[in-house]
Amino acid sequence: MFTLRPNVVNAMERLSPNIDAMRDDLKADLLEVGRLLVSMAEAVRTAMRNATDALLAADREACEGVIARDQEINEMHRQVDERVYETLARQAPVATDLRLVITGIQIAADLERMGDLAEHVAKTALRRYPALAVPPELREVITSMAAVADRIAGKVGLVLTTQNETLAAELESDDDAMDELQRQLFRILLGKDWPYGAEAAIDGALLGRWYERFADHAVNAGNQVVYLVTGESA
Amino acid sequence: MFTLRPNVVNAMERLSPNIDAMRDDLKADLLEVGRLLVSMAEAVRTAMRNATDALLAADREACEGVIARDQEINEMHRQVDERVYETLARQAPVATDLRLVITGIQIAADLERMGDLAEHVAKTALRRYPALAVPPELREVITSMAAVADRIAGKVGLVLTTQNETLAAELESDDDAMDELQRQLFRILLGKDWPYGAEAAIDGALLGRWYERFADHAVNAGNQVVYLVTGESA
């Protein structure tokens, strides 16, 4: 179920400044939690990407695929939590190590929520099927929001594997770009020449909301990783 | 900053089936975490109640008050997290006790998010000030959603202090009531005779979303408490 890139396998070793002093068995458990988180980050990124494609093409099967696969993401979430509690029980880590292990639970919660938001996009598309939920006037801004969401989700995966603080700092400015797109979306929806009435306006506003929240949770997850590495809130 | 009802002080003693066997110092720390969570639950309930009143009256000062006081809720969140990490560091709890302490972090995260949603309601009201953001056609359904949200938030406070599983089970049916109200709201927004255009429709849809998410997070928090007490997911 989890396909791993080779570089991921050792990447989590850098997750804590104290990892060199860490006992090998704790290190192995942390590596496993890290692997699961990277897989989850990849899965939610793919989910949102597929949801956007399905939305823009009004592709029913693709929508249903996104919705069905959210169960797999939820299952991954359960596995992270289980693995964290096993680690806590087996290794009884303290201080920084303990905080590190627990943060895995919080990152997983953000990632799971990102999966839910991809599912929301697919469900919005499905509700309007066979019509397109995104009218031509919104296509560009929604496509841009999806691109920013995808870029942020990709960076979270990278931050998880590299613990690169510079990359993590970029998440904030990516999030600003999302907020600007959100404003642009509302300018179109609320413009005097909006021709589609209330239903399409509501769908447009909610779609914007799903992408924006997806990005918010990704930034949260990225900040948690930075906190892990530096001990300071981003 | 935290005003406590007298019955709260001892209530957290029942939070774990093992609490009688628990060391006194761990018990004292857990009591403190529990006190902070109950205060947070009261604060977010009050926040949403004030936000609803401000929304329905288009009361600018009241809106600004809700927004300003969200900082206090965020500060309470920070205090819970800090207290949990202190407890973990000082007491090094294991097994059920450990899970219990960590769940405090997750409940606090749900409660903080509920505070954010009250702030969203106040901000929506403020954006339309001095006009009313809720037109007469939506007043009844929004008032009902706010009432359900308030009932659920009140129950979470009670579940935290009593660990009453029956009460926690009621949260699910309260949440069903919220979903039904959400459908009713959309029927009005999407009805052929909706006279207000896109902006009011978007505000109505988003307001419904804030109340619904507030309830979802409350149910989550309640379920976490049940999980604490029974060791089984609700």
Q: Residue A2 has what pLDDT?
A: 37
Instruction: Say if residue A14's pLDDT is above 60.
Output: no
| Partner-chain residue, chosen from B89, B99, B189, that has the shortest CB–CB distance to A198 | B189
The interface predicted TM-score (ipTM) is 0.82
Beta strands in A82-133 (DSSP E): none
CA–CA separation, A54 and A127 (whole Å): 12
Angle ∠(A75,A77,A80) on CA atoms, nearest 5: 115
Q: Residue A99 has what pLDDT?
A: 83
Q: Residue B89 has what pLDDT?
A: 85
Q: Which residues does chain B have within 8 Å of residue A206's beta carbon, measured at their own beta carbons?
A: 205, 209
What is the nearest CA distance from A99 to chain B, expressed in angstroms? 8
Nearest CA in chain B to A110: B109
Model pLDDT for residues A120-153, shown as the tens digit of each residue: 999 999 999 999 999 999 999 999 999 999 999 9
From the candidates A78, A100, A102, A207, which should be mutated to test the interface with B, based on the most B CB atoms within 10 A?
Answer: A102
Nearest CA in chain B to A93: B92
| Partner-chain residue, chosen from B89, B102, B202, that has the shortest CB–CB distance to A202 | B202
Q: Give Dmax (Cα) for chain A.
A: 65
CA–CA separation, A173 and A176 (whole Å): 5
CA–CA separation, A51 and A211 (whole Å): 11
For residue B210, CA distances in Å to A202, B53, B175 come to 14, 15, 13
From the candidates A87, A185, A199, A206, which should be mutated to test the interface with B, based on the most B CB atoms within 10 A?
Answer: A199
Provide, rounded to the nearest whole percent, the portion of chain A with pLDDT above 90: 63
CA–CA separation, B45 and B40 (whole Å): 8
* Chain B contact residues (CB < 8 Å to A): 85, 88-89, 92, 94-95, 98-99, 102, 105-106, 109, 186, 189-190, 194, 197-199, 201-202, 205-206, 209
Nearest CA in chain A to B92: A94
* Chain A contact residues (CB < 8 Å to B): 85, 88-89, 92, 94-95, 98-99, 102, 105-106, 109, 186, 189-190, 194, 197-199, 201-202, 205-206, 209
Helix axes B95-128, A95-128, angle to 10 degrees: 50
Instruction: Say if residue A18's pLDDT is above 80.
Output: no
Model pLDDT for residues A28-42, shown as the tens digit of each residue: 888 889 899 999 999
Nearest CA in chain B to A101: B102
| Partner-chain residue, chosen from B92, B106, B190, that has the shortest CB–CB distance to A199 | B190
Taking residues A13-17, report their average pLDDT. 48
Q: Which residues does chain B have within 8 Å of residue A205's beta carbon, measured at their own beta carbons?
A: 202, 205-206
Nearest CA in chain A to B101: A102
CA–CA separation, B7 and B34 (whole Å): 12
The residue among A165 and A117 whose pLDDT is bigger is: A117
Q: Residue B23 has what pLDDT?
A: 79
Taking residues A168-187, report their average pLDDT. 92
Q: Residue A4 has what pLDDT?
A: 38
Q: Residue B17 has what pLDDT?
A: 47
- The two counts, helices (H) then strands (E), for chain A are 7, 0
What is the nearest CA distance from A229 to chain B, expressed in angstroms? 17
What is the nearest CA distance from A205 to chain B, expressed in angstroms? 7
Taking residues A43-67, report their average pLDDT. 98
The domain A20-230: what is its CATH number? Answer: 1.20.58.220
Secondary structure class of A222 (helix, strand, coil): helix
Q: Residue B19 has what pLDDT?
A: 55
Secondary structure class of A67 (helix, strand, coil): helix
What is the nearest CA distance from B7 to chain A, expressed in angstroms? 31
Q: Residue B68 has what pLDDT?
A: 97
Taking residues A209-214, report their average pLDDT. 97
| pLDDT by position in tens, chain B (length 234) | 333 343 433 444 444 445 555 678 888 888 889 899 999 999 999 999 999 999 999 999 999 999 999 999 999 999 999 999 899 888 888 877 888 889 999 999 999 999 999 999 999 999 999 999 999 999 999 999 999 999 999 999 998 888 787 888 888 889 999 999 999 999 999 998 899 989 999 999 999 999 999 999 999 999 888 766 665 654
Q: Which residues does chain A have within 8 Å of residue B190's beta carbon, measured at their own beta carbons?
A: 198-199, 202
The residue among B29 and A52 whose pLDDT is bigger is: A52
> Taking CB atoms and an 8 Å limit, are A102 and B106 in contact across chains?
no
Q: How many CA atoms lie within 13 A of A23 on its CB side?
A: 11
Domain B22-229 sits in CATH 1.20.58.220: yes
Q: Which residues does chain A have within 8 Å of residue B95's beta carbon, measured at their own beta carbons?
A: 89
